[in-house]
Structure 1
Amino acid sequence: MEQVFIPQGYQTVMPYIIVDDAVKFMDFMKAVFNATEKMVRRRDTGEIMHAEVFIGDSTIMFANSLTDWPPMTAGLYIHVADADATYKKALELGAISVQEPDDKDYGRSGGVEDPFGNVWWITTTKP
């Protein structure tokens, strides 16, 4: 396989999500998943043209939707320290339950759909 250069702080595959309100989407990720802002580029209107956040060691890219670029949602699987607390926080901030957290052979996991239509599978894995 050919050697690929990947810049520092990026991964081989990263989601790129288009939402109707990228500012609120970023706020949701910061509040629920402790995301940290990496980069934000805005259009003249103030809307987010391109943004990136870190969640742990992963990068999520996203932008505001446009007429030519309608919302594109994703399914995301995220490892957290406490699946129950993270699930509860997501619900408090407007997510809806897809599946309440329950015990699995690998740990504890549940799912939510965020206010932007993305589904997050929130998991705490057994060591």
Structure 2
Amino acid sequence: MTAWKPPEHNAVSPYLLVVSVRDMLAFLAASFGAVERYRSEQPDGSIKHAEVRIDDSIVMMGERPAGSAATCCSTHVYVPDVDAAYQRALAAGAASIAEPRDQPYGDRGAGVRDAEGNLWWIGTHLSR
């Protein structure tokens, strides 16, 4: 185990600042099968910090201070079936920004925008 990062964390992880961590946790679970692994709640019930695992990666998030400007993130997620993940994301409230299609670089990819404005690029690498 390394002392400079928590166990099971990669060196780089997205950190989302959102209005509702609860809503983001639900979106990530429905869209990508994210599993919550940590949550720190404030006395008022807001969530100061939460972490989920999506496959081999951690996504961290916290509720942004009231009145602060939105900070949007663009994140790529590899999944076993891009078409299914895209449909799950739409069903969970995302808006389509790119329907699934085969890309010239060897992936089948799609894109969605979540309710917070974050972009999620979804890909499945095609065997060639």
TM-score by length of 1: 0.91
SS in 2 for 1:50: strand
Aligned to 2:47: 48
SS in 2 for 1:123: strand
Instruction: Report if the CA contact (8 A) 1:17-1:71 is conserved.
Output: no
Distance between the aligned counterparts of 2:98 and 2:115, measured in 1? 16
Aligned to 1:84: 83
Q: Deviations 1:97-127 (Å, cap 9, x if unpaired)?
A: 1111101131210100011111000001023
Aligned to 2:72: 73
**Residue segments in structure 1 that go unaligned for 5+ positions in a row:** none
TM-score by length of 2: 0.90
Q: Structure 1 residue 118 and structure 2 residue 118: aligned?
A: yes
Distance between the aligned counterparts of 1:113 and 1:57, measured in 2? 22
Paired letter, 2:65: L
**Residue segments in structure 2 that go unaligned for 5+ positions in a row:** none
The RMSD of aligned alpha carbons is: 1.7
Distance between the aligned counterparts of 1:28 and 1:94, measured in 2? 8
Paired letter, 1:79: Y
Distance between the aligned counterparts of 2:95 and 2:115, measured in 1? 8
Distance between the aligned counterparts of 1:51 and 1:66, measured in 2? 15
Give identity over the alignment, percent: 34
Distance between the aligned counterparts of 1:47 and 1:82, measured in 2? 34
- C-alpha displacement of 1:69: 5.0
